[in-house]
Amino acid sequence: MDQMVKSSTEGTREKELVSANDEAILETDIKAKFDQTAWNLTPSQAATTVYDGRSMADAQATNAAQGTEEDARSVVSRYTYSSEIDATKFVKHIGGRAFNTLSETYFLPTDDDEWTRLNKQHVALLVGLGGLYPDKDIVKAVLTPGPGETKRILDVGCGTGVWALDMAREFPHAGVTAVDLAPVPIDAAGLPSNVQFEIDDVNKGLEHFKDMFDLVHIRLVGSGLQNFAKTMQDVEECLKPGGIALFMDVDYDMYSEDQRVYIPFALEDDDVECERSWFQRIVYEMRRGAMSSGKSDIYGMSKAMDEGLWEHPLMDPKTCKTGSLYMPIGPWAEASNQIAAQQLKYVGALMRQDLMSAHRAGHAVMKRIGWPPETLAKWSSKADEQMMKTNPRTWIRMRYAWGRRRARENQPAPALATPPGIHADDPEVPYPHFYVYGSKEESLAETKLRNRGKDLPVPSLPIASATPTPAQT
């Protein structure tokens, strides 16, 4: 992990906030092992991947002849990572960091430092959300099996695989399929029997998963998608009638202490004591770099997530909601309740560690638009110093949108066999800054409040770069 700029006192305080058990879990989960098996490689991988030689069509024909239509779309092809050398087919190295080889759109690395960061992020999200997913009663009711029924879960863009593994353990009766652009750093010896991992580029579609899943989860992949609205539709088509889709992504704008005022990005002559944010500047340039190729649909993601699923034809609007999870960067936030205060400090410490690594992971994409390494190193140092001083006090917002698929066209979602409410197990003291919106109007009203102050002049790019800045929509 990149060296963090912090005093020994602050570093000790942060480390104490992460329990020994959490550290042990992270150490286990990030250990890079490549001896797992992947299933269901799409035709796009056939040209770049060694697998068993069957095309998607051949495999579907074989499976269809031997079983059901669902079988025809399930286990299609197999590829086994027999060694770390073999796994490098999916990884390239740039500037000392490893990146996936399947998509130029997704710009963050796939290596030990990134896996460590993502697992800390996962723990922070668990605390903030109070579990692995929102709307717990509905999710558990959807995943309650009927007689002889096997429920199925799909995790799109699974990263380290930690969410998929946690779901496989929480729902041992369900089959969990997890897909990502690169091999997952999982020790195969510890895999639950009901989870499988696949390599797939979701930008090429999810037709091979159509109508197969009771729950589809897609988290923090918006920067790597070329058409976010199309991917949302693809995800919804993967659901069985009544299945639930869970979308989650990050807001690339940071907010001040009251959560509704945008913190402006720092300018070149600003020092670390200014009221503007150096981390916000880095994130701004990461977003600009991602969009410079014309492929990343970050602004489309922002719009689609805030609008929610209410007007999506496949989804039952009465089941749809959006949400905002605000997480402090650093352990500065307070609460009147002692447990809530502990939650905020724990989440804040983890997110500070997460983001101090994340802004360095984004250097590669900022170099695309001409920023020199020495400038980026200076910005990162200033961002670290501001984070360690918790000045300005900053919230990062996670976006959520979810809903259930209709039973049929223009019909509501089917009634749940297990009524919601009987599974209620929310923590006694919920995290204090997760807000749920029950209508598109309510969600967009909050968006309007957050958008105040964002119409700032666009900072100049380096003279060497002629890359235009896409207009925000």
Q: Which residue, among 234, 217, 117, has the nearest Cα to 167 in the 3D structure?
A: 217
DSSP assignment string, 223-243: GG-S-HHHHHHHHHHTEEEEE
Angle, alpha carbons 120-393-429 (nearest 5°): 60
Strands 37-39 and 239-250: what pairing?
unpaired
pLDDT of residue 98: 37
Distance (Å, whole) CA 4 – CA 86: 33
CA distances 468 to 242, 367, 461, Å, are 44, 14, 9
Q: Which residue, among 337, 377, 339, 342, has the nearest Cα to 359 in the 3D structure?
A: 377
Block means of pLDDT (10 residues each) for the chain, 473 residues, are 33 39 35 28 28 30 42 34 39 39 39 60 90 95 94 94 94 95 76 90 93 97 92 98 97 95 95 95 93 86 97 98 97 93 91 88 88 95 96 97 97 88 67 97 97 93 60 43
pLDDT of residue 404: 98
Q: Which residue, among 234, 243, 174, has the nearest Cα to 213 in the 3D structure?
A: 243
For the purposes of burial, counting CB atoms within 10 Å of the CB of 330, is it exposed (0-12), middle (13-18) or buried (19 or more)?
buried
The backbone torsions φ and ψ at residue 217, rounded to the nearest 5 degrees and listed phi first, read -120, 130
DSSP class of residue 36 equals -
Axis crossing angle, helix 162-170 with helix 112-129, rounded to the nearest 10: 50
pLDDT of residue 114: 53
298: part of which helix (H) or strand (E)?
Answer: helix 298-307
pLDDT digits 0-9 by tens, 296-353: 899 999 999 999 999 999 999 999 999 999 999 999 999 999 999 999 998 999 899 8
Contact between residue 330 and residue 321 where contact means Cβ atoms under 8 Å apart: no
Global pTM reads 0.77
